[in-house]
A and B are shown apart, each in its own frame.
Chain A
Amino acid sequence: MRAQVIVCCGSGGVGKTTMSSALALSWAMAGARVVVVTIDPARRLADSIGVELDNQPRQLPLTGAAQGGELHAVMLDTQATFDDLVDQFSATPEDAQTIRNNRYYRFASTRLGGAHEYMAAEKVRELTQSGAFDIVVVDTPPTRNAMDFITAPDRMAKLMDGAVMRWIAMPATRSGWRALEFGSEAAARVLRRLVGRGTIGEIAQFFDLFRGLWDGFHARSMEFHSMLRDPRTRFLLITTPAPSARSEALYFLEKLQEEEMPFGGFIVNRHVPMPVHALKPEVLPEHGPLPDIQWQQALEDLRTAPELTSQIAQSQHRSISALKAAGPPQASCWQVPHMGRELHDIDALHTVSAWLPDIDELI
């Protein structure tokens, strides 16, 4: 049976990497074979667990895990994944080499719109079907447009579509253009004028070379497309109480519903709980063990903290209520309190995982 896939989505800076790692860790501790895929070029996961990561799963040391529990991590290397795919789908090693040497390919494989997300999708597909894991946790790339990751295979498929490639690669003869729709000749002329003939030539060569790889790419895209809609997949929306993160999460939810992808719940990170007690000024002694000026300063510090906490908590409460109200009626919402210290070691991840759902609560 293929692995369960948990996709963590959210806008930048909400703690996606930390939440994905903490989820993976807690499920591994509970006895599952888990791999977490991070796509972040800024090496934050590596920072938080202190292990060098690369494009292949690396097993991380775990102490006290239940029987069978394993934690692995992968840090996506877009270029390496793209190269692997080219090797797999090329008829001969020489063909693969020609593609790899194409100047446009060097550009396209890392900077092409969606290449990053597309390769992330490919990596997830590969790990899910490898049989080596029970759960694949995906930390999605930080994108402005939250849907980029999900739509990447479709967009890539469109780009690789035979029609586009034929059109671009075709020799600019009248008979060649005639087969295409009205306007193409003018389009090609404008394009050559804008981008320059040499560049078009190189792009054309790239697409021409790629033609043989198209079937393989297309099949992979379709597999990923259905995998995202599978009953064994869940999307978790990671957010903070900040209004901008919240609106991003809600936008994402709307898209998930449009695309009929399974929503697993919200994780609200950096939640500041309301202070439980109200501080009465009269309980604070006027004099203390410090000179009066210093003592009054200390009392001022003491009064400020609950006040600031409660102002932030109130503002957050409004925001979280708005999130819940806008979500589906029975949507789960896990709140992870602001820890007051930074989370960059494995102990911190253990602490966070206490607030997060078990895998059974999700699927």
Chain B
Amino acid sequence: MSLLDKRIIIVTGKGGTGKTTIAAALGLWAARSGKKTLICETHGTNRVCPLFGRTSDGYEPVQVHRGLHVLSITSESAIEDYVVQQIKVKKLYKLVFRNRVMGPFMDAVPGLHDAVHLGKVFDLAREVDGDGNNRWDLVIVDAPATGHGLHMFDSPRAMMELTRVGPVYEGVRQVDEVIGDPTKTALVLACLPEAMPVSETLDLWKRLGDRKDQVAACILNEVIAPPRSSTADWKVAAEHLRTIDDPAVKEAVELTETWMDKAQNQRQARDLLAQEVKVPLIELPLLPRRDLRFQELQTLSQELDCGLEPE
């Protein structure tokens, strides 16, 4: 089953692994494959729109490309949506939840913020237009960094355990049915091919327990292209090059070896990951430009295309 046939994709991983970039590239890929796609940022971040040269528009989806919209979810707005849906009266919501004592109380219910985020995603995924068609074929979630990202994924179950009965229990149970269904929801793990991010991803993999089958892919970001020369050839060449009396050549030899070492370390980290994490590993290249623009996103989404839909 293709990743494109899912309804929800949750991108998670350690901080700094490029989750947002990956979510954006995935979104671009899905939209180009003809899916009406929505990227959801969490906890009010606004990082995706700027990648497309757009400014965000708060709680309304912004179109950033043909077939691709972006929305930033905040706990406050998601809670409001949820409660208004439940009690049907917006005025009552304002009366109750803008109450001085309610804010801290909402913070006191463990997992509530995460659960309402997912509840919002669930609602978006089943939203229909006037003709009864799904408004979105695919909702991509740019989840918080690992530890917390997993909390979010688990939050419906935590809420179910805490509440046990009642409308909230019913609500989160429905959410969990979709979020926990491997045919509907996929997890994509973002990682860098370096020792610490890999060890954290392995840790996440263990903690996923029986939900491992929901992991559709692990995306390794910033992979250095392997050198053209074999190690043995380079050794011979480098020895000769070092005899050239030119500081630029000496520096270039040093830099080449630094990059080769790095590429070698990356391959080791990747192999360590591949031994344990039995899902497709997709590699995205290191791009020299660090402030990504649309052009770079397109490059990345083409790489994803090759990795996710092999001919």
Contact = CB atoms under 8 A, between A and B. Distances in A.
A50 interface: no
Given A142-B15, A187-B99, A288-B240, A340 B246 contact: no
Nearest to A11: B15
B291 A196 contact: no
Interface in B72-108: 83, 86-87, 92, 95-97, 99-102, 104-105, 107-108
A279 B248 CA distance: 5
A113 B107 contact: yes
Given A107-B162, A316-B290, A47 B107 contact: no
B168 A195 contact: yes
A327 B42 CA distance: 27
Interface in A186-201: 186-187, 190-191, 193-199
Contacts of A318: 291
B234 A112 contact: no
A59 interface: no
Main secondary structure of the interface of B (DSSP, over half): helix
Interface stretch (A126-134, A212-220, A257-265, A306-314): A306-314
Contacts of A308: 259, 288
Contacts of B255: 275, 305-306, 309
Interface stretch (B119-127, B133-141, B196-204, B211-219): B196-204
Contacts of B109: 195, 203
Interface in A113-134: 113-114
B310 interface: no
A41 B105 contact: no
Interface stretch (B56-64, B143-151, B174-182): B143-151
B199 A107 contact: no
A237 to B, nearest CB: 15
A342 interface: yes
A155 B113 CA distance: 15
B306 interface: no
Given A190-B92, A276-B251, A164 B288 contact: no
A107 B251 CA distance: 56
A290 to B, nearest CB: 6
Given A241-B290, A280-B248, A288 B104 contact: no
Nearest to A103: B162
B247 interface: yes
Interface residues of B, number: 83
B45 interface: yes
Contact of A13 (B17, B47, B100, B167): B17
B128 interface: no
Contact of A298 (B158, B166, B234): B234
A356 interface: no
Contacts of A159: 104-105, 107-108
A178 interface: no
A200 to B, nearest CB: 10
Given A145-B43, A288-B237, A306-B252, A242 B83 contact: no
A165 to B, nearest CB: 9
B195 interface: yes
A112 B43 contact: no
B262 interface: yes
B147 A142 contact: yes
Contacts, number: 237
A361 interface: no
A245 B166 contact: no
A18 to B, nearest CB: 9
Nearest to B144: A144
B290 A315 contact: yes
A286 interface: no
Contact of A155 (B95, B104, B234): B104
A283 B96 contact: no
A142 B104 CA distance: 22
B45 A242 contact: no
A42 B200 contact: yes
Contact of B234 (A107, A181, A301): A301
A121 to B, nearest CB: 16
B110 A312 contact: no
A44, A190, A311 — most chain B CB neighbours (10 Å): A190
A221 to B, nearest CB: 13
B271 interface: no
Contacts of B5: none
B33 interface: no
Interface of B: 14-17, 20, 42-43, 45, 47, 83, 86-87, 92, 95-97, 99-102, 104-105, 107-111, 113, 144-148, 151, 158, 162-169, 192, 194-197, 199-200, 203, 227-230, 233-234, 236-241, 244, 246-249, 251-253, 255-256, 258-262, 265, 288-291
6 pairs of A and B residues whose beta carbons are closest in the complex: A12-B15, A13-B16, A196-B166, A311-B288, A298-B237, A277-B248
Given A13-B145, A242-B16, 20 more contacts: A13-B192, A42-B199, A47-B195, A108-B110, A159-B104, A168-B101, A187-B97, A194-B86, A194-B166, A197-B166, A198-B165, A203-B109, A241-B290, A275-B255, A283-B246, A288-B237, A301-B256, A315-B288, A340-B261, A342-B195
28 contacts: A12-B145, A13-B197, A41-B147, A47-B195, A107-B158, A108-B110, A111-B158, A113-B113, A144-B42, A155-B104, A155-B107, A159-B105, A168-B101, A183-B96, A183-B99, A191-B105, A194-B83, A195-B163, A196-B165, A197-B166, A199-B162, A280-B246, A288-B240, A290-B236, A297-B233, A298-B234, A309-B255, A316-B290
